[in-house]
A = this chain, B = another copy of it.
Amino acid sequence: MRLLFVPDAGEIYPPGFQTSVEPGPVAEPLCGAFRPGHFRGVATVVTKLFHIVQPDVAFFGQKDLQQCAVIRQLVRDLNLAVEVVTVPTVREPDGLAMSSRNSYLSSEEGERARCLSQGLFAAQEAYLAGERDSQRLVETARAQITEVDQLQYLQLVDAETLEAIPGRVERPAALCVAASVGTTRLIDSVLLISLPAGAADRAQRLFSEPIAQQDTVAADGLPVS
């Protein structure tokens, strides 16, 4: 059975509504620095959603990496009885992370936007090949991200706390980018996770292959052919 829960705004924020869930330092860098209050809104409405729906498991896309981190932190901090699962970013055949905002891109902008994922993939490849210097990994990505109109941030951070990693990358990390293409703000990220030698290929496949080459499942868990 599939159910959609689609309340209207007045049902979620009735007159007199005033309590919020305030995330901590995990919400401060990256998008948090550019969108004041955004993650407070996310944390509040997701807490409400969890209380209303009372799910056993909730799935969030890795593309919104900071959102995932904020939600994991609030679930842990507020002792919510829900398991949060992060699912890999679904991508267009050319690598662009899927987003409702992609529909705002002209076809010329869409082509330029491709450089975001290409830059991240290049850094991820360098990482999997053994590069551990944070600055060089960022530069590897930066070298490819040449066609956006404004680069908001490109940062290598701890995958859980989102604290910047300035020197050597020796714990699970993420490389995160936000940029404008035309008037559209896009974000993307890849994980930089150290794996046993044999597993590197699989990680590569998991994290960086476009969706056309991945198995896709529908909401009922059956493969989409």
A: which residues have CB within 8 A of B? 16-26, 43-44, 47-48, 51-52, 54, 73-74, 77-81, 161
A77 CB contact (under 8 Å) in B17, B23, B43, B52: B17
Contact B19 A79 (CB under 8 A): no
Q: Which residue in B16, B20, B26 is a CB contact (below 8 Å) of A22?
A: B20
Minimal beta-carbon separation of A29 from chain B (angstroms): 13
Contact check: which of B16, B20, B77 meets A18 at CB < 8 Å? B77
Cβ distance A217 to chain B, nearest Cβ, rounded Å: 30
Q: Which residue of B lies closest to A74 (CB)?
A: B19
Q: Supply 9 A–B pairs (Cβ within 8 Å), ascending by A.
A: A18-B24, A19-B43, A19-B73, A19-B78, A22-B22, A47-B78, A48-B79, A51-B78, A54-B81
Other A-B pairs beyond A19-B43, A20-B21, 11, CB < 8 Å: A17-B24, A17-B77, A18-B26, A18-B77, A19-B21, A19-B22, A19-B73, A19-B74, A21-B22, A21-B78, A44-B78
Closest to A73 in B: B19
Verify A48–B78 contact, CB threshold 8 A: yes
- Among residues of B, the one whose C-beta sits closest to the C-beta of A79 is B51
Chain B neighbourhood of A51, CB < 8 A: 78-81
Q: How many copies does the complex hold?
A: 2
Set of chain B residues within 8 Å of A161, measured between Cβ atoms: 16
Distance between Cα atoms of A19 and B27 in the complex (Å) = 10
Please name the residue on chain B nearest to A160 by beta carbon: B16
Q: A26 to chain B: which residues have CB within 8 Å?
A: 18
Residue in B closest to A21 when the chains form the complex, CB atoms: B21
**Chain B residues with CB below 8 A from A73, complex form:** 18-19
CA distance A21 to B22 in the complex (A): 6
**CB-nearest residue of chain B relative to A12?**
B79
List chain B residues, Cβ under 8 A from A20. 21-22, 24
Give min CB distance, A15 to chain B, whole Å. 11
Of all chain B residues, which has the CB nearest A81? B51
Contacts of A22 in B (CB 8 A): 19-22
How far, in whole Å, are A17 and B80 apart by their CA atoms in the complex?
14
Give complex CA distance A22, B40 in Å: 10
Counting chain B CB atoms within 10 Å of each CB, the highest count among A16, A24, A78 belongs to A78
